[in-house]
Amino acid sequence: MNKLFITDLDGTLLDGTGKVSEKTKEILNALTEKGVSFAVATARTILSVSNILDGLNVNSPCILMNGVCTYDITERKYLHCHYIDPEATAEYVKAVSGRNDISPYIYTIKDNELCAYYENMDTEPARSFAEERRKRYGKNFVQVDFKKLDPTYAVYFVICGKKDVIEPYYHKLKETKGLYVAFYRDTYDTSIYYLEMCSDKASKAGGIRYLREHYGYTEIHCFGDNTNDIPMFNESDFKYAVSNAVDELKEIADEIILSNNENGVALKIKELTE
């Protein structure tokens, strides 16, 4: 049987400081050396994922940006991307462009390169969002007029901020044809919410289906902590929620395991494979 063990990162594989513990690295590297297939499924981009997972052997294709793309870390290339319909991009730009209460972003993937664009960084949450990614992961943000940006390669939109500011945009955009919209609280700073948008063909669930179809996995075990992991849970054969997970995820999990601060994912994979 061709098994894959795939895990969310923040709040699941990563500890409370946003890192992979040395114990988890030790356990998982020993298992992948024996041929255990291991991957991650995350809202993060490859720039932050590569940095965070340094020293950890990820030997299977990963689902990035909540299913927007599938990426081979070993080969350093995008295997598959879901691009947003240009009409949906136009609706997003119409809703957010020129606003001073939010600082939205647009991500594109072209020629195997990820780029992030913004119109303004007038809000503190958006400045913090960009500054962390610049300092920790070397991510480059380019200022543009969204109305002049080529929509062909748009893959991901994001707005972050206080709930009362972001939520009206969620209600405005959630019915946009061709757009999948997720609205949820940040794992580390619970005062901040994220509004993430991508093609309605993209999701962690779609990523799971892609891996089954193209890599022949017949049994998939997944791990998560937040509501954006629910689609992935629904597509997997076995699903595990860390003990620090939200109640909605715990309710549909096959098992609740040790928390992200207790190496829960690594220890469970070890138990299942030895």
pLDDT tens string 38-86: 999 998 999 889 989 999 999 999 999 989 999 999 999 999 999 999 9
CB atoms under 10 Å from CB of 105, counted, come to 20
Pairing of strands 154-161, 105-110: antiparallel
The rounded distance, in Å, linking the Cα atoms of 83 and 110 is 10
- Residue 271 tokens read as 């138990």
Average pLDDT over residues 123-135: 85
pLDDT of 188: 81
Helix axes 264-273, 22-33, angle to 10 degrees: 20
Q: Residue 132 above 90 pLDDT?
A: no
CA distance readout (Å), 117 to 120, 146, 174, 203, 214: 9, 8, 22, 22, 32
pLDDT of 250: 97
pLDDT of 95: 94
Architecture of 86-199 per CATH? 2-Layer Sandwich (3.30)
Q: List pLDDT tens digits, range 149-193.
A: 999 999 999 999 999 999 999 999 999 999 989 898 887 888 999
When the candidates are 3.10.180.10, 3.40.50.620, 3.10.20.90, 3.40.50.1000, the CATH number that belongs to 3-81+203-273 is 3.40.50.1000
Q: Residue 30 above 80 pLDDT?
A: yes
CB atoms under 10 Å from CB of 48, counted, come to 21
Starting at the edge strand found earlier in the chain, the sheet holding 77-81 runs: 62-64, 69-72, 77-81
Q: Residue 1 above 80 pLDDT?
A: no
Average pLDDT over residues 237-263: 97
Nearest to 30 by CA among 56, 49, 8: 56
pLDDT of 189: 86
pLDDT of 2: 93
Q: Residue 137 above 80 pLDDT?
A: no
Q: Residue 96 above 80 pLDDT?
A: yes
Q: Residue 218 above 80 pLDDT?
A: yes
Domain ranges of the chain: 3-81+203-273, 86-199
Residue 63: strand pairing partners: 41, 70
pLDDT of 153: 95
Report the predicted TM-score, pTM, of the whole model to 2 decimal places: 0.84
The rounded distance, in Å, linking the Cα atoms of 78 and 62 is 10
